[in-house]
Chains A and B, each alone.
Chain A
Amino acid sequence: MADIFDKDTLLDLTVNVIPLGIILFFVVVFLVVDPFSGLGAYGQVLSMGLLVVPFVALAILTYVSGKAIAGDEKRAEVFFQGQATMEGAQTRHEAEAEVEGEGEQSANDAEARTDADLGVDDGRGDDEAAGTEDPDAESEAADGDGGAANTDDGAAGEAEATDEP
């Protein structure tokens, strides 16, 4: 259990702690400042229930999903989204190792070289000129004669690209 909910996982789960905190805040506020106490206990119970039930439900779901996701992370290889079933996909672990191990060096890896071969224009924001998208039906140019994606320094983008927040 402790090994599933390590620091990284807890950090991931903070997104859901914030709404939980907001709800908790209002619970306290409504208990301390209670301008409608004259209206009887029934409404009081209901209104607390309306806060407590979502709170508990969200806490449970966060716990369960955190356990499922973090548990699977520990158990099996982690890929980037949508890539798990692809052959030869890079695992997140590999990507991180690459980034950390080589730092700026990684700019020399395969993609960057290919891009250089293909003659990369800077393409930023003007990517139609590079033909990276669909050519018009008339302009018939096979897709992408303008060169590869506009990754003038593809690997730098890569370096920031880990999934970890």
Chain B
Amino acid sequence: MEITGQLLLTVLMGAFLLGVAAFLARVEEWRSYTPLGAGGGAVGESGYGHAEKPAGLIRWFTTVDHKDIGLLYGAYATIAFVVGGLMVMLMRAELTTPATDVLGSATFYNSLLTSHGITMLFLFGTPIIAAFANYLVPLIIGADDMAFPRINAIAFWLLPPAALLIWAGFFPLPDVLPAQTAWTMYAPLSAGVGNGTQANVGVDLMLLGLHLSGVSATMGAINFIATIFTERAEEVSWANLDIFSWTILTQSGLILFAFPLLGSALVMLLLDRNFGTTFFAVEGGGPILWQHLFWFFGHPEVYILVLPPMGIISYVLPRFAGRKLFGFKFVVYSTLAIGVLSFGVWAHHMFSTGIDPRLRASFMAVSLAIAIPSAVKTFNWITTMWNGKIRLTTPMLFCIGFVSNFVIGGVTGVFLASIPVDLVLHDTYYVVGHFHYIVMGAITFAGMAGIYYWFPLVTGRWYQRSLAKAHFWLWMIGTNITFFAMVLLGYGGMPRRYATYLPQFATLHQVATLGAFMLFVGGIIWIYNVFVSWMEGARVESGDPWRLEATNLNTAEWDWFDTKRETSLAATDGGEDVQTDGGQESQRDS
């Protein structure tokens, strides 16, 4: 087995490398024959055959254009979201009964639990943000492209292998089992100690995959920092930088400090697992060391995930409130404050581990302090809507849903930050409810707000409004049913991460599953809507589809879209009467 296995691998590897060489030769040939392209792009998918890019699939494999990479990130995040969502639907089905009647095995439940968390945070959350950032930041700040376009492409292409490694345990590979460590990967379980199955290579592969996704995020972050610092158009001074770019800048700063640390901790864990080191062994650094390292990364990670969505909300919500963002600079400064303070709160995840009570107290203090900037933002959003001319478009609905859910998520978080409360609620469903109000109710809602808001910009088409509204309401109601039930379960003392439970929790669990089913249906509607509308939705008829000009709220990316439309219409046939050019006013009622 050993020898033939190695031989087989060698042959496969050699064939693969030959394939790569052939592919490279082909692409190089294209490159040496194509003249520098002329002529701008066109709207919609018809525009995806540029002279300066190869056609077909190869274009997507070789692109270094920030917009293409943004779309790739978006597609990737969508796939990950579907996978993670299906996993959790299995889990919720399992939880309709107190025993393991549905999946039949608690081990499988644990595997799903682990993968769901990691998939949603690392393969959906971070990439969907990168999708928006890649597509929009250069457009908004007036940059030609990202500062390092090739690094940008590398960062994206690291992600598909990362996903394969993370999911490897679910593939029908001999002797490879899925990890069951939960997303926090606490030692000693994750170090493979004990009689369980967690010494399995499936866990190693997952750790490698996570490591790769961290490398990817770090490369992306460096790129965004360089882009925002050096590639801004001249008019875009620090005072003029928009709030979304501010949040991306802050997020990138957080990534730069947090992810390399995760990477190192993962390497240490891998060494513990495979080479007999004792970083996290009881006789060495101790399991608590892992928790410190993990949460030093992990808490900033939650803000890495929430800051850019907050930026999207701060950017989109005012457009449909008919007025400028209230207290713009408050929002900017509080974003930066969150960025710094998020490194000083990590041990609020460790209150019940028996660390020195004085350290706990300090972490509690900073955790309470960090709630202020979050609250400031919330008040600014509410004040922006106050007395505004609110237009309840789908993106706006998602924005309002964000604010509403973030209030609940934030308030439950502040309670958890208080040591005596946390000692009661730690590791219960209350915590699960808390962070899902934020990761689902807020972060994902902001992602949807962004997707619907910029859908016309990216595709040149409209999504179907009634489906979008159905999506929103299913999700708004579903989120609150599911996760409020979890908050209540937590109050009742239901511990998290179990496939089975006492019969007294059955009703609330069934309620939560009902809510999850609404989320599932809403998700299907969303996918269908985006997909079908992209293919055959009604074409956008104006360069200012959201009619932002009327309230003087339009922004650079729509300006770009407008001009691009005109250029391409002029280039094709100009069949549509948008050439009046008498200012956007006349186009508005075309």
Contact = CB atoms under 8 A, between A and B. Distances in A.
A82 B555 contact: yes
Nearest to A54: B344
Contacts of B370: 19
A84 B358 contact: no
A134 B466 CA distance: 9
A62 B359 contact: no
A58 B337 contact: yes
Contacts of B357: 36, 39
Interface in A25-65: 26, 30, 36, 39, 43-44, 46-48, 50-51, 53-54, 57-58, 61-62, 65
A132 B391 contact: yes
Contact of B337 (A16, A90, A123): A16
Contacts of B132: none
Contact of B389 (A20, A66, A72, A157): A157
B95 to A, nearest CB: 37
Given A58-B337, A111-B551, A157-B323, A26 B372 contact: no
Contacts of A135: 462, 465, 538
A81 B328 contact: yes
For the side of the interface on B, what is the size category? Answer: 35 or more
A12 B585 CA distance: 36
Which of A26, A124, A145 gathers the greatest number of chain B CB atoms within 10 Å? Answer: A26
Nearest to A148: B550
A50 B361 CA distance: 10
Contacts of B242: 81-82
A15 B541 contact: no
A81 B468 CA distance: 27
A146 B537 CA distance: 20
Which A-B residue pairs are the 6 nearest by beta carbons? A82-B555, A54-B344, A26-B365, A72-B237, A165-B327, A134-B462
B537 to A, nearest CB: 6
Given A132-B391, A150-B389, A162-B324, A79 B235 contact: yes
Contacts of A61: 336-337, 339-340
B366 A142 contact: no
Interface of A: 12-13, 15-16, 18-20, 22-23, 26, 30, 36, 39, 43-44, 46-48, 50-51, 53-54, 57-58, 61-62, 65-66, 68-73, 75-87, 90, 95, 110-111, 114-115, 118, 123-125, 127-128, 132-137, 140, 142-145, 147-152, 154, 157-158, 160-163, 165
Given A78-B239, A158-B551, A165-B329, A123 B391 contact: yes
Interface in B239-268: 239-244
Interface in B327-368: 327-330, 332-334, 336-337, 339-341, 343-344, 356-359, 361-363, 365-366, 368
A130 to B, nearest CB: 9
B65 interface: no
B86 interface: no
Nearest to A46: B359
